[in-house]
Amino acid sequence: MTDRNRLIYLPLGGAGEIGMNCYVYGYGPQGAERLIVVDTGVAFPDMDGQPGVDLILPDIDWLAERADRIEGIFITHAHEDHVGALGHLWGRLRAPVYARKFTAIHAMRKMEEAGHDPLQVHVTGPYPAVIEAGPFKVQFAPVSHSIPEASALVIDTPEGRVVHSGDFKIDRNPVVGEPFDPEMWGQIAADGVRAFICDSTNVFSRHPGRSESQLPEPIGELVANAKGMVVATTFASNIARLKTLADAGTANGRTICLLGRAMKRMVAAGVESGVLTGFPATVSPEEASEIPRENLMLIVTGSQGERRAASAALSRGSYLGLELKEGDTFLFSSKTIPGNEVGVARIQNALAEKGVEIVDESAGFYHVSGHANRPDLEAMHDILRPQILIPNHGEFRHLREHARLALSKGMQGVVAANGSMVELSGNAPQIVEYHEVGRTYLDGSAFVGAFDGVIRDRMKLALNGVVFVALIVDEDDEILEDCWVALRGLPEVGNTGADLAEMIEEDLAALLPRLDAKTVDDDDKLEEAVKRVVRQVCMSEIGKKPEVTVLTSRLMAG
Amino acid sequence: MTDRNRLIYLPLGGAGEIGMNCYVYGYGPQGAERLIVVDTGVAFPDMDGQPGVDLILPDIDWLAERADRIEGIFITHAHEDHVGALGHLWGRLRAPVYARKFTAIHAMRKMEEAGHDPLQVHVTGPYPAVIEAGPFKVQFAPVSHSIPEASALVIDTPEGRVVHSGDFKIDRNPVVGEPFDPEMWGQIAADGVRAFICDSTNVFSRHPGRSESQLPEPIGELVANAKGMVVATTFASNIARLKTLADAGTANGRTICLLGRAMKRMVAAGVESGVLTGFPATVSPEEASEIPRENLMLIVTGSQGERRAASAALSRGSYLGLELKEGDTFLFSSKTIPGNEVGVARIQNALAEKGVEIVDESAGFYHVSGHANRPDLEAMHDILRPQILIPNHGEFRHLREHARLALSKGMQGVVAANGSMVELSGNAPQIVEYHEVGRTYLDGSAFVGAFDGVIRDRMKLALNGVVFVALIVDEDDEILEDCWVALRGLPEVGNTGADLAEMIEEDLAALLPRLDAKTVDDDDKLEEAVKRVVRQVCMSEIGKKPEVTVLTSRLMAG
């Protein structure tokens, strides 16, 4: 029984959250399955949960312990939540990476930046090209999304065909890149699909999705009617949108200037990979500043309110010689991702102070989603008719809703959050193992586990401030009465008007000589006694119990 | 010319943000105007901007310096962003407070909690009752909003009538409290309105507002069709909604249990003030736990995802003996305020893990806004036909849009953000003075200015972590080679695998003996030299430059 082959699916990131996608498929005897990895994405930290952290990466301990069993890493598309962790994680996986051209350009850069050989990334053609990876045969089936060359993976296994949707929508006219191809999907479905692992992002959106091709007309009208400078922001990776925006500019006699490193990099990758053709010539910011504002259109980074992006810089004042003013128009051709609302509003308010006309997606004309809405999810279910549907790419509520939808349509729907290993090869799919998976924080150049306490400690500092106390125990093991106190993140003066650090020093000077030798000799006991005094003073003076760190310098005789 | 009387308006909070409302009107010779204050509200801090802060209060330095000129404080309604700062600020203002009964109950509690005499709060009747306050005659004109007894202020001055809208919507059937009364507003407008200071929250919402009375039917249907326990959350102060929810429960054979202190307090205030009648009997959580779940309805606090509220507690597990499970229904009869999306999603995901059916406002049936949408703002403009319209209660983008709307309709629209004093008595309204106003943070029991650097320091600690270094300079002014290092919020081990604190101590031990006397004697220079070493070690070991605090214990010969 134990050497029976089985087909397994294990999400390590992206199932239970939107972001940080990383999924594993395996086939073989239990505990000796050969593995493939689908996507190595990042999530983005915020002040609320991960202050100071640079990136959030999936916890791949499970995979790294089984690195010798990995046959390949497949990247579905070039969004950061699918490819962003490749460079950071590859050193522990060391398997060949497969991606289509546009995606591979980004994957290679990630590898190079991390000091790995970019030639570990193999450029792959679309369906019906096949990559053999141990017991798996994998094909990249083009899907429409908000970035070129996004692909679902068609994974053939000895237990049947598995389709991993990646991020997708149904768009028959996506402006740039491959339209949704019902004929291809009909072929893929023809011999039966064992399991469909499917994007759940928009399962709560009940109206049919809209096509990218619905945007050029309203955006063109907006630009035609604009008086001053026009600035537009969107995700840099949305090459189709960049083209629509740029075309709207040139059609109305405007010269295009791209601002933001990601913006220029994405257009270059689009041209290099061949997916982007006919993009208008652009000018540098220096050249742009010489052009009358009514003949200029900027396409800029920062649609999510990022403080360091071009849109934020423009909202604050002059940036690279360009400055917005009354009568200019700023278009957010983008959705605000939950959590970014305040940052986006900050920029919009700063622009409003300058008298800039702000246009955003609330009107419903200037942005379409890159994910399949519920009716389109259902359309895809109906084409593939899988036996098993496993929702991914969603928070728990999305996974659950999508699984319920699947059940209601006669499929076997399974909710499998990060760490839940599902066996796909039995009579009915079931969770056969559960592996605790956390998240890994890239903090500077250090990798810190989400449960290590490091970041939690930083949050405590932010919430409570910190009092630092330096004590001296002399060569005779006597504690000095004098101690030294420093405050960080606390008011200097208490409610009685006295200096807070001095008050703490005075109260400690009263305490220290009274401590018995047992307390003085024991770091923990000494610290506890000192903390109690510090917290008492602070509670009475500022109504707050700060963090306290005690450093005891024990002088050695000699 | 200087002793010419003038009528002025000065927003100190709420104009340039949503929250923290505080407005001043004045009449008299320049610099000697008699003043009234409208509202003393708070805003709520978040980890992103004000970690650890308890409340954000308006900066009332300008007012406090002129406290002898304040004739009265008028509170339009009992929402925290209008009354929440009263107790904290009143000690610096010391003027009589006026409010209607329901509002006064809350205002009195704020005064008591802060140790002030609650009888400073005077209960006032609605229009046409008049309070004389120096040169002002003030009337509380009932408006519909999402809390009982919300009122606009009709302020008669020697320069004409000013209407301060407070928060309002146009609802002819608000379920609880006074419906919009066009006849009263016709009377108020009859003799002309000099200036209308008007709520701008929903100026971007282009559809007509919906009435509270549209909710009982869909909410009743939802409860009728629910199988297990029903839990509903909304703002506790929305008494009408509480009644609608509770009525829907009892009509479907469910007993009502209120969870959350604010919930019980608000219902009590509603009954005490007489605005709430016929609210069903409720049971305690202990009693509720004995009732079959299909006969129970909980109405709970925490619609904004607050971690300590009842909804969060229920999402985490058993709370006061009550536990949700598969098949129960949880209704968010509320809007998620921008910035709270992630907190609300956290609760919804935890509920989804329990198998609870989640229903929220996205369907558009179970919540209506308490603020006037654009068409209703226009209706109010058309009734009052003011010469001047000054938008308030909005971020800058709302104020600007509302002022543009006013201009387009032939009114004099003025954008006046916090600190901009507008003279209303000249030929045309204009900003005549600008006073820098900040925000005041209540941090524990201390008041901290937003620009004092205290909170900024806490954010730096959260972003960068902190290294503490204790140095000793002995009685001979010689620095000891040994030093002591503690880390907070940083990984203990660097990328080379060595203990980070020990590495710093070693590198400092190499540095310290080499320092010249001039550096050792000068705290700043010594600190600078130490910081340089600490940051070098950290950059190389963890790729991060932490905060560094150096404490030098200088031992005195003695």
* Residue A470 forms contact with B (CB below 8 Å): yes
The set of residues, in sequence order, having a beta carbon less than 8 Å from that of A266 and lying 6+ positions away, is: A236, A237, A239, A242
Q: What is the DSSP string of B15-38?
A: EEBSS--EEEEEEEETT--EEEEE
Q: How far apart are CA A24 and CA A64, in angstroms?
A: 12
The answer to whether B439 and B450 have CB atoms below 8 angstroms apart is: yes
- Res. A395 pLDDT band, cuts 50 70 90: very high
The predicted model gives A234-263 an average pLDDT of 97
The answer to whether B56 and A58 have CB atoms below 8 angstroms apart is: no
Which residues in chain A are closer than 8 Å to B443, comparing Cβ atoms? 491, 542, 544
pLDDT > 70 fraction of chain A, expressed in percent and rounded: 99
pLDDT tens by residue, A321-331: 999 999 999 99
Which ranges in B442-522 belong to alpha helices (H)?
454-464, 500-511, 517-521
The answer to whether B280 and B289 have CB atoms below 8 angstroms apart is: no
Whole-number pLDDT of residue A538: 98
Whole-number pLDDT of residue B535: 97
- Cβ separation of B455 and A489 shorter than 8 Å? yes
Q: DSSP character for A459? A: H
pLDDT along chain B (558 residues), means of 10: 85 96 98 98 94 97 98 98 98 98 98 98 98 98 97 98 98 94 97 98 95 97 97 97 97 97 95 95 97 98 95 96 96 94 95 95 91 97 98 97 97 97 94 96 96 96 97 92 95 95 97 94 95 97 97 83
> Which among B396, B461, B495 has CB closest to A461?
B461
Does residue A2 register a pLDDT over 90? no
- Res. A558 pLDDT band, cuts 50 70 90: low
Q: How far apart are CA A48 and CA A293, in angstroms?
A: 39
The set of residues, in sequence order, having a beta carbon less than 8 Å from that of A105 and lying 6+ positions away, is: A78, A269, A272, A273
Which residues in chain A are closer than 8 Å to B490, comparing Cβ atoms? 454
The predicted model gives A57-70 an average pLDDT of 98
Which ranges in A210-280 belong to alpha helices (H)?
216-225, 239-251, 261-273
Whole-number pLDDT of residue A3: 72
The dihedrals phi and psi of B131, each to the nearest 5 degrees, come to: -105, 125
CA dihedral B306, B309, B311, B316 (to 10 degrees): 90
Portion 325-344 of A in contact with B at CB < 8 A:
338-339, 341-342
Whole-number pLDDT of residue A363: 80
Whole-number pLDDT of residue B558: 55
The predicted model gives A411-436 an average pLDDT of 96
Whole-number pLDDT of residue A128: 97
Strand-by-strand arrangement of the A412-413 sheet: A131-133, A136-142, A151-157, A160-164, A195-199, A388-392, A412-413
The answer to whether A257 and A326 have CB atoms below 8 angstroms apart is: no
Peptide bond into B128 cis (omega under 30): yes
Most B-contacting residue of A401, A471, A551 (CB-CB within 10 A), to test interface: A551
Q: How far apart are CA B245 and CA B220, in angstroms?
A: 8
The dihedrals phi and psi of B379, each to the nearest 5 degrees, come to: -60, -40
* Residue B484 forms contact with A (CB below 8 Å): yes
Whole-number pLDDT of residue A244: 97
Please tell me chain B's helix, strand, coil percentages from 3-state DSSP, rounded to the nearest 5: 35, 25, 40
* Residue A115 forms contact with B (CB below 8 Å): no
The set of residues, in sequence order, having a beta carbon less than 8 Å from that of A138 and lying 6+ positions away, is: A36, A72, A74, A98, A130, A131, A132, A153, A154, A155, A156
Burial of A511 (0-12, 13-18, 19+ CB in 10 A): middle
* Residue B523 forms contact with A (CB below 8 Å): no
Please name the amino acid found at residue B45: P
> B207-238 burial string, b = 16+ CB within 10 Å, else e?
eebbbbbebbeebbebbeebebbbbbbbbbbb
Q: How far apart are CA A138 and CA A358, in angstroms?
A: 46
Q: Please determine, for the modelled complex, whether the ipTM score is greater than 0.90.
A: yes
* Residue A407 forms contact with B (CB below 8 Å): no
pLDDT tens by residue, A502-533: 999 999 999 999 999 999 999 999 999 999 99
* Residue B353 forms contact with A (CB below 8 Å): yes
Three-state SS letters, A430-447? EEEEECCCCEEEEECCEE
The set of residues, in sequence order, having a beta carbon less than 8 Å from that of B33 and lying 6+ positions away, is: B6, B8, B26, B27, B69
Q: Chain B residue with minimal CA distance to A492?
A: B454
Whole-number pLDDT of residue B337: 92
CA distances from A186 to A413, B22, B142, B341, B365 (A): 22, 64, 64, 39, 39
The predicted model gives A227-238 an average pLDDT of 97
Q: What is the DSSP string of B278-326?
A: SPPPB--HHHHTTS-GGGEEEEES-TT--TTSHHHHHHHS-BTTB---T
Q: How far apart are CA B403 and CA B409, in angstroms?
A: 10
